[in-house]
């Protein structure tokens, strides 16, 4: 792996819109990614191994659940800082960002938002430090884009419940100590359950053979009549609003994160186009290369503005799920297209692990699909502007 020569690109001086604290967060995370992620990532991705040690490091940095209040071990930071953290981590790798997204937005956030005081005190501080790893179970083998169709059941049994069913495509699941799982109860209501790894009847087999997010571990969750005590159920929330509010947080982070992957590809392509010569002049002097680079930085700049504005709406508690869908969909596709164009600029070298594009390209295929597919987000926007539901 070559030295990481990455430089940030801020064509519209959007950094001027950031607070001193947000800029410090950006620099801190960028330094950490350069020191700890890029030197090892190609190797871990190639071997399809998860660098589990990064959980503790991200915990020490405060990158796990940064917007959770500090009394529960979080950072008490604003949503733009959270977005910046996701962007800088994903500049390194979407898989590492996924590890942090799931822990922060899909595990810590629901425990913070819907958990009892005891649940918050028991789990959040350990999740914040990375001493405990969490995962989130919503998607099922037969219910992906339609999570409300879930068949995982939570049935009353004495003082507690029994959990039966299976979840699929669960980031972190084989190494997780705790899973936040959504299931339908006897009244057909969606309930949130905290499943501890030691519980009898619970297993989390690994999904093998992924060509994407290879440095992030993915698995299933299988519940074979698992006994769940009452204290492990979220007390109040009894609808799809529970899991969907978690997804809004995570999708928001992805809208920022994808820009990181795009910037890494653009940065590499820009440098390569200045250093590589053909026909006696640098690649960057050819009009077709300039077209690619100019379009890339234009799209990145638009995505940066979208993410920043969405962040201010999030901070003001005004962002709608449909606004988040638009940013997630736009920014992920933008990143995927840039990864492909940047790969082309590198010619044959672009397919090797000397450069980051192929890894980002493969990762982004997952990012395009998880947390609401590209098409589903389009239909959410369509429904929002027409008032007509294309799903039913």
Residues 357, 94: Cα–Cα separation, whole Å: 12
Q: Which member of 36, 79, 220, 371 is catalytic?
A: 371
Q: Which is nearer to other proteins, 18 or 193 (CB)?
A: 18
Q: Which is nearer to other proteins, 60 or 295 (CB)?
A: 60
CB of 216 to other proteins, least distance (A): 22
Q: Which is nearer to other proteins, 118 or 131 (CB)?
A: 131
Q: Which is nearer to other proteins, 65 or 242 (CB)?
A: 65
Q: Identify whether 371 is a catalytic site residue.
A: yes
Burial class (CB in 10 A: 0-12, 13-18, 19+), 311: buried
Q: Which is nearer to other proteins, 20 or 200 (CB)?
A: 20
Cα–Cα distances (Å) from 156 to 182, 230, 232, 281, in that order, read: 15, 10, 13, 73
Contact residues toward other proteins (CB under 8 A) are 5, 7-8, 20-21, 23-25, 27-28, 31-32, 35, 60-63, 66, 70, 75-77, 81, 85
Q: Which is nearer to other proteins, 35 or 344 (CB)?
A: 35
Active-site residue list: 371
């Amino acid at each position: 792996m070559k030295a990481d020569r990455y430089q940030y690109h801020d064509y519209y001086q959007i950094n001027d819109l950031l607070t001193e604290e947000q800029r410090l967060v950006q620099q801190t995370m960028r330094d950490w990614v350069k020191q700890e992620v890029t030197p090892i990532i190609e190797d871990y991705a190639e071997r399809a191994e998860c660098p589990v040690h990064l959980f503790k490091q991200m915990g020490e940095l405060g990158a796990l659940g940064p917007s959770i209040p500090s009394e529960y071990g979080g950072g008490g930071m604003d949503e733009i800082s959270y977005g910046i953290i996701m962007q800088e981590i994903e500049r390194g790798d979407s898989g590492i960002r996924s590890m942090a997204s799931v822990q922060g937005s899909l595990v810590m956030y629901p425990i913070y938002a819907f958990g009892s005081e005891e649940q918050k005190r028991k789990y959040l501080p350990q999740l914040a430090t990375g001493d405990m790893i969490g995962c989130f179970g919503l998607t099922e083998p037969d219910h992906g884009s339609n999570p409300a169709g879930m068949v995982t059941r939570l049935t009353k049994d004495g003082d507690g419940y029994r959990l039966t069913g299976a979840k699929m495509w669960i980031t972190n699941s084989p190494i997780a100590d705790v899973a936040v799982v959504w299931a339908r109860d006897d009244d057909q209501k969606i309930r949130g359950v905290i499943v501890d790894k030691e519980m009898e009847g619970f297993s989390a087999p690994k999904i093998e053979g992924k060509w994407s997010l290879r440095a992030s571990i993915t698995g299933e969750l299988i519940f074979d009549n698992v006994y769940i005590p009452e204290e492990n159920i979220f007390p109040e929330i009894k609808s799809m609003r529970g899991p969907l509010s978690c997804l809004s947080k995570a999708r928001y982070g992805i809208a920022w994160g994808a820009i990181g992957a795009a910037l890494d590809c653009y940065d590499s392509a820009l440098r390569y186009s200045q250093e590589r010569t053909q026909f006696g002049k640098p690649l960057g002097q050819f009009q077709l290369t300039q077209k690619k680079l100019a379009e890339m930085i234009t799209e990145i700049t638009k995505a940066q503005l979208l993410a920043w504005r969405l962040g201010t709406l999030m901070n003001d508690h005004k962002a709608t799920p449909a606004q988040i869908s638009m940013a997630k969909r736009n920014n992920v596709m933008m990143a995927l297209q840039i990864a492909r164009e940047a790969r082309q600029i590198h010619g044959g070298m672009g397919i090797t692990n000397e450069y980051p594009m192929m890894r980002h390209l493969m990762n982004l295929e997952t990012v395009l699909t998880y947390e609401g597919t590209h098409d589903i987000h389009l239909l959410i926007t369509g429904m929002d502007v027409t008032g007509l539901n294309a799903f039913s």
